[in-house]
Amino acid sequence: MVQPIVRLQNVSKRIGGRTIIDKLTLDLPLGEVFGFLGPNGSGKTTTIRMMVGLMSLTEGEILINGHSIAKDYEKAIRYVGAIVENPEMYKYLSGYDNLKHYARMIPGITEHRVHEVVKLVGLEGRIQDKVRTYSLGMRQRLGVAQAILHKPQLLILDEPTNGLDPAGIRELRDYLRVLSKEEGIAVFVSSHLLAEMELMCDRVAIIQNGKLIDVRTIRGTGSMTDQSRVIIEVDRPQGAVEALLAAGHSAVPEGGQAIAVETDRDGTAAINALLVSAGFKVYGIRTHVKSLEDQFLEVTGGERIG
């Protein structure tokens, strides 16, 4: 990986003798939507507060584009846009006037940039309306527009889907993808909802009791999601399992005429060819792609989240 936009190195936070964050290590590249998934109280907000310099670290280091947030705050924070708590908005002003108000506080923000962010979050149609007439999802988008005004390379959102309906969640997902792919920025989003993270993110880190349990790739050429459980129906399941085991595959009987194999796409074709050439009748092959939830349950041994 080239220099990550954000690097957490062995980050710990203790408050009153209690360890809230325990040796967290993470790297995020540009252009990725990165999910930070964990149940209530697992330490998501605490981590984010440390990332944006709202809270000190007990141990470790957070580097943003190579600059330490603790030792070199001014330089580091320049690359960051964030919504940690509810964004401050003037409800009696229009969305546009709110953005202009913030733009005035940051040097170098042009009128053009204000229009650009409005377009990016899809608020063109309503930007002249007063914020008090906005739905929750629209306020959320205005918050994102405000957070990206200064062209940060890292956008951090703490539970951005809270309170949104499915349509709002989908819109959020779409424009976060636009931001990450077209503007090339890294997006760090926290959530306690598995299904959402799975749809929204390229990679997901799972945190529990302040500890990083796992990081999984959801999209692209990632490792885990390529591996699937393939169910094959054959005339002689026991014989098929033996033949596959002998050929180095991990096959188990599934009951009835079904057997289950852990493999990828090419492996599925090879197994089919092997069975047919060995004289088995293959009646059906179906692939069960593991969802993040399946993977999460495997990793944590069954403790559910969300």
Ligand X SMILES: Nc1ncnc2c1ncn2[C@@H]1O[C@H](COP(=O)(O)OP(=O)(O)OP(=O)(O)O)[C@@H](O)[C@H]1O
Site for ligand X in 219-248 (CB under 6 A): none
146 contacts which partner out of Mg ion, ligand X, none, CB within 5 to 8 A by kind? none
Indicate the residue among 44 and 216 with the shorter CB distance to Mg ion: 44
Backbone angles phi, psi at 177, to 5 degrees: -70, -40
User: What residue has token string 């109280």?
Assistant: 41
Q: How far apart are CA 113 and CA 210, in angstroms?
A: 38
- Per-residue string for binding with Mg ion, 24-63, x by CB under 5 A? --------------------xx------------------
Residue 19, interface with Mg ion (CB under 5 A)? no
What's the min distance (Å) between Cβ of 55 and ligand X?
8
Exactly one of 38, 81, 95, 137 binds ligand X (CB under 6 A); that residue is 38
Residue 15, interface with ligand X (CB under 6 A)? yes
Indicate the residue among 146 and 191 with the shorter CB distance to ligand X: 191
Residue 40, interface with ligand X (CB under 6 A)? yes
3-state helix, strand, coil in the chain (%, to 5): 35, 30, 35
Indicate the residue among 10 and 162 with the shorter CB distance to ligand X: 162
Q: String of b and e for 103-140 (b: at least 16 CB within 10 Å)?
A: beeeeebeeebbeebbebbebeebbeeebeebeebbbb
Q: Which stretch binds ligand X (CB under 6 A): 33-41, 78-86, 108-116, 139-147?
A: 33-41
Indicate the residue among 143 and 237 with the shorter CB distance to ligand X: 143
Structure tokens at 37: 């998934």
Exactly one of 44, 141, 150, 203 binds ligand X (CB under 6 A); that residue is 44
Q: Do strands 186-191 and 154-157 pair parallel, antiparallel, or not at all (unpaired)?
A: parallel
Among residues 146, 148, 139, the alpha carbon closest in space to that of 168 is found at 139
Q: Would you call 174 helix, strand, or coil by DSSP?
A: helix
Residue 11, interface with ligand X (CB under 6 A)? no
Residue 12, interface with Mg ion (CB under 5 A)? no
For residue 246, how far is the Cα from the chain centroid? 40
DSSP assignment of 202-218: SEEEEEETTEEEEEEE-
Indicate the residue among 210 and 237 with the shorter CB distance to Mg ion: 210
217 contacts which partner out of Mg ion, ligand X, none, CB within 5 to 8 A by kind? none
139 contacts which partner out of ligand X, Mg ion, none, CB within 5 to 8 A by kind? none
Site of interaction with Mg ion (CB under 5 A): 44-45
